[in-house]
Structure 1
Amino acid sequence: MASTFLTPVTLWKDFDDALPLEEHILGEEVRDGVAFQEICFFGRRVGASRVKIYAQYAFPEGESRFPVVLVLYEAGHPFDEAFVKHFVSRGFGVLSVDYCGDNGTDRCTQYPPEIDYANFVRAGRHLDYAEPTARETCWYEWAGVARYAAKFLASREEVTRFGAIGLRSGGEVLFKIAPYAQLSCMITVCAAGWWAYRGMEKFTGEQRVFDEERHRFIAGIDSQSYAPYVRCPVLLLSAVNDTKHDYDRVYDTFQQINPAVEKAFLYSAHGNGLIGLHSLADIDLFLDKYLKNRSVFVSAPVNISVVEEDGNLVVKATFDEDGEIRSGGIFYTEKITDARARDWTRVLGTAANLKGNVGTYPLNIYEGSRRALVYAFANYSNNFSVTSKIQEVVIEHPYKNACLKSRVIYESERDGTNGVAGFRRRARSMANCFADSTGTDAKLLPGYGGILGATAEAGLVSYRVSEPRYAAPDGAALRLDAYCKEDALLKVTFYPDANEERGYSAEAHIQGGGKWKSLFFEPSDFKTETGQHLENFKNVISVVFVGSAEVLVNNILWI
């Protein structure tokens, strides 16, 4: 009887990727100096038929030789032309491959009826369970599509080298082909496995006994099992507070990647689950190095330790001694649970913090906290950025730099853009993953008297209301100052869940111009769409501010 327990080796040992592609062009056009082709080619054989793969191929008009980036988007999301043009403008070709199947049009990958579950819209349990084996999952079929896409690029005379970028589920697929495809490099965004661990947070101490099926899924599908077999350079990018991947465990996968390959790692700290400009710069530099053969410094991750120094709690960050530090520092949170809704406070260092390649940064934890999470970051002179792992800190005794509880949630002069972020759910983004910084980032603008206030075009969110230091005291009400140049409506919403789906809202009219307007809210002022009132602020996860115009907020506090 055949084994049902398959590994990255045994699952793929009989996979046939030697069949002819039989590619043909469905349509082509040139726009803005970019040549676009709609193409299809065949994938693996299933019974009497084969998978018919749909892709879009874009490249610089008039160029006959160029490196190419294979892009696998997040399942359920369309190809993004702005994302494609970013790379074409830098001299790359881009092959965007559909692995999701049926989308209601004929412009999609077509799977034989025997594997209808490979269509994302009908994946069902084949997405999350290895029943009876890992071979009967949509992941196996999606990776099969990606392997044939890599074969297509390897066969093209115009392609000098090719690498791959995978976004979320697309990144999980990349891990499954990396041991076998001829990739010159790979980049995953918000994807590094631990799919079977969803709902079990790393730092809560929760233990779970996995049954045989879970072990089958972990061994044959989860990306951390593939990490030791990766053969090409790897860049892992992760966004804190992302709801769709386990960012606490990404570094665990990073550590398991084949030590013989070059690799780099970066957290994006927007706090809204999106990848920022530093990450995009890393992508560009990484592709230049491995696809264009340019000399680019790629740093090792930052190493950190948390120690007591003169009675203070501090973080020691050791940077790559071969690089020139442009900026460095730490991010920390006192919230262990609800990984999707943490407030990450940034401590940006100066030259005074740095001695040699070691930076020392104060970790000013609230005196009532017993645990915290911290990671360090570094941006080097060539604009390549890396971070450390997220490290748990256990507070064993009081430190001199411990902080008192604060009724002031946010104050612009004290906090800058710490404590606030662009609201992810309304945010504009590229490829549903990369922040459009003009519309998603929190920013400071002057209001009356030149006093700065925080705002974001997509709305402003703060997770401090659930941090131990800033959580509401008993019987608290909310007060804040608001300013807008024109008449506007400010909607304030408290969410009791990390998914930010069911909120309690109140609205206030802001008269344009003049002085800052002081607003006061009792818990009972906030209600759901069905009219249910908020009893108190004790169990809220986040607070969101959305203005009908550019409304600035400041001096947010409990009274």
Structure 2
Amino acid sequence: MKITLKLLLTTLIIGCFQLAFAQKKTPQTVEELWKKYNPKSEKLNVEVLKKWEKDNGNFEYIRYDLGKLTGTNKSASPKISAYYGYPKGAKDAPAILHLHGGGQRAELSRVEFWVKLGFACISINWGEKEVESGLLNTDWDGLAAGFIGNSEQLGHWNDVTPGPNTLYSEPHALNSSWNLVAMSGRRALTFLEKRPEVDAKKLGVEGHSMGGKLTVQVSIDPRVKAAAPSVGGSGYLYEDLWGLPGSKRGMREDQEYYKQVVDCQSYWPHIKAPILFLGSTDDFNSPTELVIKGMQQLPVKTERILVLAPHLNHRFTDNTDASRFVWMYSHLEGKLKFPKKTPSTLQLKTKNSIPVFSLKPDQSSGLPVKKVEIYYGYGRDPRVRFFRSAEVKQNGNSYEAECPVFDIDEPLFAFANITYDIGFEIPARPGRNATNFITVSSEYQEAYPEMLKSAKVKATEHRQKKVDDFKNGMQDWYTLFPENRQHWFYSTRKVIDPSFMGPEGGKLKIQVETNEAGNKIAVEIITNQWLSYLGRRTEEYTALVDLPNNGLNTIELSPSDFQTKGGKPLKDWDELTELSFQAGWKAKGKQKADEKWKGDSPALKLIQWEGGDYSKWRRFYPHEKRNNQSIQKVINFENEFQDAIEESVKLEKQDEEQ
């Protein structure tokens, strides 16, 4: 009897073990996926393919083993190439893992910059594009993971759904390239901690765009002591934005499973390392409210801070960009204290029924506060939202500003940017100037229509004829290469703000000052950007305009003066999302100037609407459907997304050329 019971008990235990093991074959959560993964278990087998010295650093081009991967569809032993560098004579140096973005490759210039700052750095070439001609490169060994071989379905594979070159023949977390690349990043951490010049307890990770998402994923590794993702990794991209049905990204199969094992919304809760998220207010890849939502999932004790570059998409200002380097200085070297997140308040119930945003900047770091700026905006879709600069009032260490509302049926968003003097210089880097300051953002505030109505907020804003008189410089614009005589670019989303939308039948008056005569300027308009979910396509219109004077030039333009490359005229001002200026020879339209720009970059002096009937204005917002939307051609989101990536890559190349 005892033998029978013992045998039965043993059988039950074995059966339960087998059942549990069967469940774990297909991990259902991030925790299950990585629980038994050991990035140190297999040898790296590092190959040093090239070595050299430059300035204050030693550099190597290397390759290491990802490790043996075995699935139900394929088995593979990928190898990952990378640039690695460290300061000459370094001992116990902090080290950074850099993860490049979409369409990019390992960045030697990034490694060199970190070395200049006193860090060791490895930049892995997970995208598989060639970096060193004639030398061995990343080899995913037949798995869909990098950026080459798309025609053979060997390129980046977002989904967990199986394909011909995925690891598993059934839906699985490791079918997605994201998790495979995250694994390669964690192996790179193993490389760093084994280096004699590196302090294994001082490892950080940073990445941009797709590299930002990967940074969030890799940061669950307990060896990471500081993280700084930028414009990627928000999570929640497969859920609609507030008040915008259909705005989420699409996925045909296995979407819920994808959210559980790939999407960053399921990674944030497992990050314990201090994390700085570097964003831009109009970013296409990490919409601001989704970043906020993602960071709210962090463990309570995880230090976190958000940095937002106003008006920009996928780019940063000198001071916001510098924040991530100082973040690493603070958390890996301990040379200075980094400011804590500044709490803020958006008071909706006020005497005059106008909301007031207030804050008291954190001063625990001891860094002097140089400037406080407060921004607020209304648009539902953060990718095309215009943030106004509020009139800030200071009372001692406290700052506040009114945030008047145009329409109580629309949400209100507000935040502050605080600029600190760090007392030393962050050197210039590609696309960025040297700076002695960092800018970080306060707690971000959101107020939705029911909240505004409950607080009896009044709509006090109105339509305005004047768009900008530039008395405050370019504060409502973003500028690229403003000092470059040929590649300067000025742009604003102010024309999407309901106060500044053009009137029916009106003209756009522009005054621009040049210091040489005989130029041509390209005035460019984008309509319906990122609004394909409404059945409208993004279109670009250009007006090529003569500037005959050395000095002030005045222009008046009707909608029909703007045309697409195909010659289609702009119908009206209703669907504008962006207004831009650049040299005529760089025009995006059918016509371009024959000659390059003469003289210095121009100065915009006035933009306003002339004439038109404001009384006939209908309540048009970017998210509302137009009567004629059915005749518009719908553009595929993936195409627009890919265009945005390619534009970002192009601008980053221009950064390096400046």
Match of 1:402 among 433, 443, 460: 460
Q: Classify 1:503/1:49 alpha carbon distance in 2 versus 1 (closer, same or farther; 3 Å).
A: closer
Partner Cα distance (1:299, 1:255) in 2 = 16
The within-5 A match list for 1:150-229 is 150-160=189-199, 161-194=202-235, 196-197=237-238, 200-202=240-242, 204=244, 213-229=254-270
Distance 1:555 1:342 in 2: 22
Render the CA deviation track for 1:326-364: whole Å, top value 9, x for unaligned: 322321112223x222221122634xx3355x4321113
> Aligned letter for 1:218?
K
1:368–1:468 Cα contact (<8 Å) kept:
no
Does residue 476 of structure 2 align to residue 419 of structure 1? Answer: yes
Q: Is 1:100 equivalent to 2:144 in the alignment?
A: no
Match of 1:366 in 2: 406
The equivalent residue for 2:497 is 467
Larger Rg: 2
Output the CA distance in 2 between the equivalents of 1:31 and 1:203: 54
Which residue of structure 2 lines up, in the alignment, with residue 109 of structure 1?
138
Equivalent residue in structure 2 for 1:480, among 496, 510, 515: 510
The question of whether the paired residues in 2 share the 8 Å contact of 1:196 and 1:218 is answered with: no
TM-score (norm 1): 0.85
Residue 464 of structure 2 aligns with an amino acid whose one-letter code is S
1:313/1:364 contact within 8 Å kept: yes
Task: Tell me which of 116, 119, 131 is aligned to 1:89.
Answer: 116
- Are 2:578 and 1:542 equivalent residues in the alignment? yes
Note the alpha carbon deviations across 1:394-419, whole angstroms, 9 max, x for none.
Answer: 34388689233102111112x43233
Counterparts of residues 23-38 of structure 1 (less than 5 Å): 23-38=46-61
Residues 119 and 138, structure 1, Cα contact 8 Å, conserved in 2: no
- Please name the residue that 1:302 is paired with: 343
- The 3-state SS of whatever aligns with 1:290 is helix
- Whether the 8 Å contact between 1:191 and 1:245 is mirrored in structure 2 is yes
Would you say the 8 A contact 1:484–1:511 is kept in 2?
A: no
Retained in 2: the 8 A contact 1:5–1:216?
no
Conserved? CA contact 2:344–2:357, under 8 Å: no
Structure 1 pair 207–489 and aligned structure 2 pair: CA distance change class (3 A): closer
Query: Is 1:126 aligned to 2:181, yes or no?
Result: no
Please point out which of 378, 381, 387 is paired with 2:442: 387
What residue ranges of structure 1 are gaps of 5+ in the alignment? 429-436, 440-454
CA–CA distance in structure 2, aligned partners of residues 409 and 457 of structure 1: 24
Residue 505 and residue 194 in structure 1: after superposition, are their counterparts in 2 closer, same or farther (change >3 A)? same
Query: In the alignment, is the contact (CA less than 8 A) between 1:242 and 1:272 conserved in 2?
Result: yes
Counting matched residue pairs gives: 524
Query: Hey, what's the Cα distance between the residues in 2 that align with 1:146 and 1:35?
Result: 21
| Counterpart residue number, 1:443 | none
CA shift digits 1:89-128 (9 cap, x unpaired): 2111221111122559655321122x23455654668314
Is the CA contact (8 Å cut-off) linking 2:342 and 2:360 kept in structure 1? no
**Structure 1, residues 360-416: CA drift from partner, whole Å, max 9, x if none?**
211133368743222222234545523222413534388689233102111112x43
TM-score by length of 2: 0.73
Q: What is the CA-CA distance between 1:318 and the residue it aligns to? A: 4.5
Larger strand percent? 1
Q: Secondary structure at the match of 1:361?
A: strand
Pairwise mapping of residues 30-49 of structure 1 onto structure 2 (< 5 A)?
30-47=53-70
Partner SS state of residue 564, structure 2: coil
Superposed, 1:133-152 pairs within 5 Å as 133-152=172-191
CA distance in 1 between counterparts of 2:118 and 2:363 reads 32
Instruction: Answer with 94-103 or 134-143: which moved more.
Output: 94-103
1:325–1:51 Cα change, 3 Å? same
Deviation at 1:38, TM superposition (A): 0.3
TM-superposed deviation, 1:556: 1.0
Q: Residues 492-528 of structure 1: CA distance to partner in whole angstroms, max 9, x if unpaired? A: 11111316963111111112424x1111111111111
Deviations 1:10-31 (CA, angstroms, capped at 9, x unpaired): 1123434210111121011222
- Work out the CA distance in 2 between the residues paired with 1:301 and 1:123: 45
After TM superposition, list the pairs within 5 Å mapping 1:527-538 onto structure 2. Answer: 527-538=563-574
Indicate the SS of the match to 2:476. Answer: coil
- Structure 2: stretches of 5+ with no match in the other structure: 1-21, 163-170, 423-436, 531-536, 584-596, 611-658
C-alpha distance in 1 between matches for 2:469 and 2:187: 54
- For 1:489, which of 507, 515, 520 is the aligned residue? 520
Q: Secondary structure at the match of 1:481?
A: strand
How much does 1:207 deviate?
9.0
* 387-396 or 473-482: bigger deviation: 387-396
Percent identical pairs in the alignment equals 18
Spell out, residue by residue over 1:434-482, the C-alpha distance to the aligned partner (whole angstroms, 9 max, x if none): xxx866xxxxxxxxxxxxxxx9953111212221111111111111112
Instruction: For 1:528 and 1:297, locate their aligned partners in 2 and report how far apart those are by CA, in whole Å.
Output: 48
CA drift at 1:287: 1.1
Instruction: Quickly say closer, same or farther: Cα 1:362–1:205, change in 2 above 3 A.
Output: farther
Say whether the 8 Å CA contact 1:123–1:138 is kept in structure 2: no
One-letter amino acid of the counterpart of residue 504, structure 2: D
Tell me how far apart the structure 1 counterparts of residues 496 and 23 of structure 2 sit (CA, whole Å).
51
Q: Secondary structure of the residue that 2:604 maps to in structure 1?
A: strand
Question: Aligned partners of 1:386 and 1:201: how far apart in 2?
Answer: 22
Give the conservation status (yes or no) of the 8 Å contact 1:240–1:272: yes
The answer to whether the 8 Å contact 1:171/1:190 transfers is: yes
Bigger Cα displacement from structure 2, 90-99 vs 299-308: 299-308
Specify the alignment match of 1:278 in structure 2.
Answer: 319
Q: Give the distance between the partners of 1:491 and 1:534, measured in 2 at CA.
A: 15
Q: Which amino acid aligns with 1:78?
A: R
**1:432 aligned residue:** none
Matched, 1:342 2:368: no
Q: Output the CA distance in 2 between the equivalents of 1:210 and 1:495.
A: 27
Whole-angstrom distance in 2 between the partners of 1:135 and 1:400: 52
